[in-house]
A and B are shown apart, each in its own frame.
Chain A
């Protein structure tokens, strides 16, 4: 079982719709969860981080964490073509600071 799993996509949504990205992780003791956006040929950039169960909202982005289900998601409201990118779910494990990345989900927002 991979440590962090995501649907690879591609996920296509029309402009203005809600894009839903999902991620599961295997280490139940994981503490911190991140969503990064990566454009082709560029380094990842942080979109959201979440530590506690529940929802966390920042502008058009909402991260959701359910530690019991070992599940974290990212919702993007009012999707824009500029949101088209690969979204990486990342987890920091308990005993280390290294960040473990999921395989990424490719999102395409269709104008």
Chain B
């Protein structure tokens, strides 16, 4: 199957700093990638849709100025958590779909963010 690589897998940062998470599609081009956040014992919540060459589409309640998304190429999307706070500590997962509609989503390995 297709491979989506996410980096880093784990990061600890100080409150007030920014953290960048990368999501790469290794063997296919992804015009669209998705960013999810998952709190303990909860399901994946879609944060935003990352579109190559255009602005990301954010879900309701997600602060676009706090969670900056850049999709500069067909194989790379980045999520930057700005001015991180302890409540931003979570498991962040990216995904990309092969094709359009009716195809499975391939997930990155996830990034465990801890803000201290």
* Cβ contacts under 8 Å, B108 to chain A: 43
A69-111: contact bitstring with B at CB < 8 Å (1 yes, 0 no)?
0000000000000000000101010101111111110000000
Q: Tell me whether chain A's interface is mostly helix, strand or loop, or mixed.
A: loop
- The answer for the CA separation of A34 and B110 in the assembled complex, in Å, is 19
Q: Is the CB–CB distance between B104 and A103 below 8 Å?
A: no
Q: Is B102 a contact partner of A43 (Cβ separation < 8 A)?
A: no
Tell me the minimal C-beta distance from A44 to chain B in angstroms.
Answer: 6
- Shortest B23–chain A CB gap in Å is 11
Shortest CB-to-CB span from B110 to chain A, Å, is 4
Interface size grouping (class) on chain A: 20 to 34
The answer to whether B46 touches A98 (Cβ under 8 A) is yes
B59, closest chain A residue (CB): A98
Query: 8 Å CB contacts to B: which residues of A31-58?
Result: 31-32, 34, 41-46, 49, 51
* Number of A-B pairs, beta carbon distance below 8 Å: 56
Q: Are A46 and B104 in contact (CB under 8 A)?
A: yes
Across-interface contacts of A98 in B (CB, < 8 A)? 34, 46, 49
Contacts of B105 in A (CB 8 A): 34, 46, 90, 99
Which residues does B use to contact A, with CB under 8 Å? 1, 32, 34, 36, 42-46, 49, 91, 93, 95, 97, 100-105, 107-110, 112
The chain A residues found within 8 Å of chain B, CB to CB, are: 31-32, 34, 41-46, 49, 51, 88, 90, 92, 94, 96-104
26 contacts between A and B (CB under 8 A): A32-B103, A34-B105, A41-B91, A43-B93, A43-B107, A43-B108, A43-B109, A44-B44, A46-B1, A46-B104, A88-B43, A92-B97, A94-B101, A96-B49, A97-B32, A97-B97, A97-B100, A97-B103, A98-B34, A98-B49, A99-B95, A100-B46, A101-B45, A101-B46, A102-B43, A103-B42
